[in-house]
A = this chain, B = another copy of it.
Amino acid sequence: MTDVASPSRSAGRTANALREALEDDIAVGLYPPGTRLDEVSLARRFSVSRTPIREALIELSASGLVEIRPRRGAFVREIGIPRLIEMFEVMAELEAMCARLAARRMDATECATLLDAHARCSAAARAGDPDAYYIANEAFHDAIYEGSGNGFLAEQARELKNRLKPYRRLQLRVRNRVGNSLAEHQALVDAIQSGDADAAAHVLRSHILIQGERFNDFVASLAAAEKTRRARG
């Protein structure tokens, strides 16, 4: 019985807290793609009735993390390889757009935030702490989203990133990605600080698309994971 005490904002709406809790559970891998989300089980688990559970599932369905098949239940959405590639393609473009705008519009405070995140990335990389790097990396990208000065764009980028989260975990384990990633971050910081919008866009697009070229590894590992999962289930 997990108590959903996360106050977050918007009290008086259990469904919101539930949505966030389920989002995390899905991102973390507690509910892997394909898992059926039973309403009564979830209701028991969170000690609420089916109503707010249903509402949370509908929200998740709208955000694309969950698929509701009418009269058949809610499932953690299984995103196939082709669609994942499509999503990364869009993600790269959104991030590139953020970078371009950030190079033009970022103010000193936002730039300081970016540099701080970059420093934390470096530290985590030196320490060889992948979890810390994951956190700092997220802060770094968030700083660029915010730095775009386009709040709507930032929202879109964050939302898409969220949808990709369940699959991203598998991805960052490959090779010595961290080292290259850090170098790309540095190039991006340089481009932004020198106000070179096109360079910033190019660097960040590549930063994402390189992940796409290293995607073969990713695809392979994902396909393998899928195979073992199917074998188990």
Determine whether A63 belongs to the interface, using a CB cutoff of 8 Å to chain B: yes
Determine whether A90 belongs to the interface, using a CB cutoff of 8 Å to chain B: yes
Tell which of B70, B83, B86 touches A12, judged by Cβ atoms closer than 8 Å: B70
Chain A interface: which size bin? 20 to 34
Determine whether A54 belongs to the interface, using a CB cutoff of 8 Å to chain B: yes
Report the separation of the CA atoms of residues A97 and B156 in the bound assembly, to the nearest whole angstrom. 15
Tell which of B10, B58, B86 touches A55, judged by Cβ atoms closer than 8 Å: B58
Contact with B along A59-72 (1 / 0, CB 8 A): 10111000010110
Chain B residues contacting A55 (CB-CB under 8 Å) are 54-55, 58
Determine whether A189 belongs to the interface, using a CB cutoff of 8 Å to chain B: no
Report the separation of the CA atoms of residues A16 and B89 in the bound assembly, to the nearest whole angstrom. 29
Copies in the complex: 2
Report the separation of the CA atoms of residues A89 and B94 in the bound assembly, to the nearest whole angstrom. 11
New A-B contacts (19) at CB < 8 Å, excluding given A13-B70, A90-B150: A10-B70, A11-B70, A12-B70, A13-B68, A15-B58, A58-B58, A58-B59, A59-B61, A59-B62, A83-B152, A86-B151, A86-B153, A87-B152, A89-B152, A89-B153, A90-B152, A90-B153, A93-B93, A93-B97
A interface residue numbers (CB < 8 A to B)? 10-13, 15-16, 54-55, 58-59, 61-63, 68, 70-71, 83, 86-87, 89-90, 93-94, 97, 150-153, 156
Closest 8 CB pairs of A and B: A62-B62, A86-B152, A12-B70, A13-B70, A86-B150, A12-B71, A10-B70, A93-B97
